[in-house]
Amino acid sequence: MALQELLQDATAGDPMTGMKWTHRSLRKLCKALRRRGVRLSPTTLARWLRRLRFSLRTCRKQKAGIRNRDRDRQFRYLLRLRNWYLARNWPVISVDGKKKELVGNFKHPGRSWRRRPHQVLDHDFPSWAKGRANPAGIYDLAHNDGYVVIGISQETPSFEVAAIRRWWLEVGRRRYENKSRLLIEVDSGGANDHRKWEWKFALQGLADEFGLTITVTHVPPGASKWNPIDHRMFSLLSADWAGEPLRSYETILKHIRTTRSDAGFHCRACLDLGKYEGKKSDPRRGRRFA
């Protein structure tokens, strides 16, 4: 009873399952119980909490910050268009940029099975890095495989389209020989924002170069996690190098190239040494210039 009273003001719960959780640590709870004349060790207290159906919880991203009454209709349209292309064996690719990584002997989130832990630098100063890795990914929905281009400069629309061009030269045009249509599924922001003229201009150049009819669909705002590349490719890459310091560009490429899944997923990777400069601001006038 004393334990439940202590947890009453710091408890949230699920009324359907009865599961509860608290923000207080075992150490703080043990100290509060001692003040009430109850002495328990943290191990015993944890056992009692489990009996009361308490457990450690994390935050879940399940609430949509942006709501639209036509959201279901938007996704049904995207699905119909995707299936229409796939039924005709036309290429459908999902494109996005992965989180930028510092290249060097830095701590990387996650854990890995080892006899000894990696010894890494105590701070992640960008000035200590060998560079930045800017991954741009292309996921082929029909063949369940990926292609990642690691850039060393900024994430710009020109870089994203250059990555698509590399995929088409090395994979797409042989796989989809004599196909003149291409469907690209992307998010609503970032380098492939539909409002950016550089993105449209670069895509037009790609279409003219290879004689393609390119159709681009954008996932609605606030729903970028439903872009297929996020949960079919990037999640596998993040799990593969979890807990492993990315000491060089070659290390990153090897992790990507050896990523596999039970469903047969595999991935190619290459390094792009090109310079893609974004827009810069003029601090004197507050304007932007190329």
**pLDDT tens, 104-117?**
999 988 888 888 88
Say what the pTM is.
0.78
Write down which residue in 41, 60, 79 finishes a domain: 60
The answer to whether 69 and 206 are in contact (CB under 8 A) is no
Could you tell me the pLDDT band of residue 14, with boundaries at 50, 70 and 90? low
Using alpha carbons, select from 267, 274, 277 the residue that is nearest to residue 167. 267
Residue 223: domain span = 71-278
- Give the SS3 label for residue 95: strand
Dihedral pair phi/psi, residue 94, rounded to 5°: -105, 130
How many whole angstroms separate alpha carbon 266 and alpha carbon 79?
24
Task: Supply the pLDDT for residue 66.
Answer: 65
> Considering its fold, how many domains does the chain have in total?
2
Looking at the fold, whether 116 and 223 belong to one and the same domain comes out as yes
Looking at the fold, whether 143 and 16 belong to one and the same domain comes out as no
Task: Supply the pLDDT for residue 133.
Answer: 94
Q: Work out the percent of the chain whose per-residue pLDDT is above 70.
A: 86
Looking at the fold, whether 133 and 19 belong to one and the same domain comes out as no
Q: For 215-258, how does the pLDDT look when each residue is reduced to its tens digit (9 = 90+)? A: 999 998 877 888 999 999 999 999 999 999 999 999 999 999 99
